[in-house]
Homo-oligomer: A and B are copies of this chain.
Amino acid sequence: MIAAGNNLGKMRATAPLVHNITNYVAMNFMANVLLAVGASPAMVHAREEVAEFAALAQALSVNIGTADPEWGAAMLDAARVMNDHARPWVFDPVGVAATRFRQSLSKDLLALRPTVIRGNASEILTLAGMTGRARGVDAGDSVDAAIDAATALAQSTGRVVAVSGPVDYVTDGTQSYRVSNGHPLMTKVTVMGCSLNSVIAAFCVGQPVLEATAAALASYGLAGEAAARIANGPGSFQPAFLDALAAQTPEALSEGARINRA
């Protein structure tokens, strides 16, 4: 049983500095999401400073959505720093099936064993070496189709893997949870998934990774439910979502979280 509110409370007490090397589309919204949940965001990528900066951060999120070779190298630099300091870092394999460049960069990142990998079903299937029907960066197979892949990936990396969908699935290869918070409007707003990864990174600071990841998924989904109740569409959803993240109390999260052993 996960008391997700405790994880939220601990994250806020830490107020971790999260270093993000993410895509251009996500940067502003991700920073606002991190501020809303109570963490501190920083976006830094230049190779001249990325490792030095990573050493100041308590967690890292990397996202290959608009990467190029320079940025890819910066991601690897920063991930190594986190590994050296035993700090959590989260990998978002956006659209990994789409191009050889993404597959190659993802392979290099995987070799560094990210603390958490979170993607949609087709991305997790691709990473696990199975066949994803990738279409752009959003699409793909059902979460259920990716459960074996997620388990295999978690076992081969020895880390945690999360599959996003109507019901999220998160596993460390042995224990698994399903998290059923969320709302369909979340799929009509760009970079909702990208920004979630930085929240997972924040929750993982000083907390058990599997539980912290499940709690982050529940927190994020619960805020989405609250926002959807007052939104008139995908535009008004965004400010309402940030408001809901900021207003969410640990008590409300523990009460509203729908996390079940899988």
Contacts and interface: CB of A to CB of B under 8 A. Distances in A.
Interface residues of A, number: 63
A49 B102 contact: yes
Contacts of A43: 23-25, 65-66
A66 B15 CA distance: 22
From A57, A136, A242, residue with most partner B Cβ within 10 Å? A136
- The count of identical subunits is 3
B24 A56 contact: no
Given A17-B135, A99-B53, A240 B235 contact: yes
Nearest to A242: B235
B246 A36 contact: no
Contacts of A31: 25, 190-191
A246 B234 CA distance: 7
Interface in A195-253: 231-247
Contacts of A235: 32, 36, 238-246
Interface in A28-57: 28-29, 31-32, 35-36, 40-49, 52-53, 56-57
Contact of A42 (B56, B100, B137, B240): B137
Q: Which 5 A-B pairs have the closest CB atoms?
A: A235-B242, A233-B243, A235-B239, A46-B68, A31-B190
